[in-house]
Chains A and B, each alone.
Chain A
Amino acid sequence: MTSGTRPGRLRHAEHVMGTVVSFDVPDWAGPRSADDAALGRAVRWLHWVDATFSPYRDDSEVSRLGRGSLALADCAPELAEVLSACADVSARSGGYFTTTPGGRFDPSGYVKGWAIERAAAVLTAAGSAAHSVNGGGDIQCVGDRGSGQPWRVGIAHPLRPGSLALVVCGRDFAVATSGLAERGPHIINPHTGQPATGLASITVVGAGLAAADAYATAAFAMGSAGARDWLETVAGYEAFAITPSGSAWQTSGFRAYLG
């Protein structure tokens, strides 16, 4: 897809996992295209995750595991890793996070954030000290944006398309937002089986995107009051939410991320 813009800064947008994953490396020393070994590895990782974990592909390991035609022991080890992490988030959230949101096995609520966080780690392992990876609105930032300045991530306003609700700033942090998408399935409250409607959007910030994304999904399913109470108890992660009526709240430690 698109690669490269200004000298020194690498931007790459990859269509994968049903969305677009945007790479931004402010101080890029390598070639300015996906031919680069490090970026290529990160991109191949995302496509491997898509092929392995997509519930929309009949031949993915997730689909075969869900049908019972493949044993967990015969799957890639990442399957067990993801299942274990999902069980952990489900337990922490009082069952508001589930791997069977639509009645069948689908760990997508964890996989995307986890895959993006891991893609960012691929670049780190290749020697990049600063980069961000944005998977369809969920972002892992590594290092800073350059010159010691923190990354600046705009939070799209869920009720006013085209407007930003606020900007969060940070270094080595992740930003995940769950919300009422313009189209597509709503997040289901596992306890009622009905789409969650108590929030317009909720943004969770913290060190890692895998956790932030899963917490945002669980919190969205809880609704406004439940999400706020729960997230106050989650160490290392803070949240900002907007309700369908347009009112907003944030957890007590969220201020640290405001510019």
Chain B
Amino acid sequence: MRRVILAVTGTIAGLVALLSFKSHAPALSAATTSGTGSGSSASSSSSVPGEFPTGSEATDLPKDEAAITGQVANTVYGPVQVQLIARDSKIVKVAILQQPTNTIHDIQIGQFAFPRLISETLAAQSAKIDAVSGASYTSAGYIASLQSALDHGL
């Protein structure tokens, strides 16, 4: 079952990296500008170019925040979808909108791997770190690690 965790968390690491502001700065700055300028934060992310269609999940955000909802990634284990909340060109929140919940292992991923990766991603961004030092991880453990997200261009 380790392969399930590998595949799904690997997808999330990729999605988080894919959606991170450094990879798509123009899209994110457009959303942020719209959010602060128009005062219509709930719809601000509609100005994001088409590759980031706005989901109906955009919550009642403060005026200086913008939501970016990723496309649904259809993994072999089920759909995965991520939403980012950004403020001043920085990601301040990452939400998992959809994730597989069919098996106990899926639930474990949801309860452990996703929250941990999200937490690490936010910590790394705010600390502007280049690498992570910690007790050695295995090749399998790397997939859900912050270093993995960094390697993907976080």
Contact = CB atoms under 8 A, between A and B. Distances in A.
A5 B20 CA distance: 12
Given A24-B130, A132-B130, A136-B142, A201 B153 contact: no
Nearest to A182: B141
B1 interface: no
B73 interface: no
Q: What is the predominant secondary structure among interface residues of chain A facing chain B? A: strand
Contacts of B138: 18-19, 136, 183-184
Contact of B130 (A12, A112, A136, A152): A152
B48 to A, nearest CB: 20
A15 B133 CA distance: 17
Interface stretch (A63-71, A91-99, A157-165): A157-165
A134 B153 CA distance: 15
A15 B151 CA distance: 13
A51 interface: no
Interface in B91-126: 115-120, 123-124
Interface residues of B, number: 32
Contacts of B130: 24, 132, 141, 145, 151-153
A156 interface: yes
B152 A152 contact: no
Given A136-B142, A138-B136, A156-B135, A162 B123 contact: yes
A155 B133 contact: yes
B142 A20 contact: yes
B134 A201 contact: yes
A70 B127 CA distance: 49
A79 B118 CA distance: 42
A162 B120 contact: yes
B127 A137 contact: no
Interface in A170-189: 175-184
A102 to B, nearest CB: 16
Interface in A58-99: none
B151 A22 contact: yes
B33 to A, nearest CB: 23
Interface in B15-55: 22-23
Q: Which of A19, A20, A132, A167 has the most CB of B within 10 A?
A: A20
Nearest to A163: B123
B22 A19 contact: no
B133 A154 contact: yes
Given A5-B153, A154-B124, A179-B134, A164 B129 contact: yes
A13 interface: yes
Interface of A: 2, 5-6, 11-13, 15, 18-20, 22, 24, 112, 132, 134, 136-139, 141, 145, 151-156, 158, 161-164, 167-168, 175-184, 201, 203
17 contacts: A2-B151, A5-B152, A13-B142, A15-B139, A15-B142, A19-B137, A20-B148, A22-B151, A134-B133, A137-B133, A137-B135, A137-B136, A152-B129, A155-B134, A177-B133, A184-B136, A201-B134
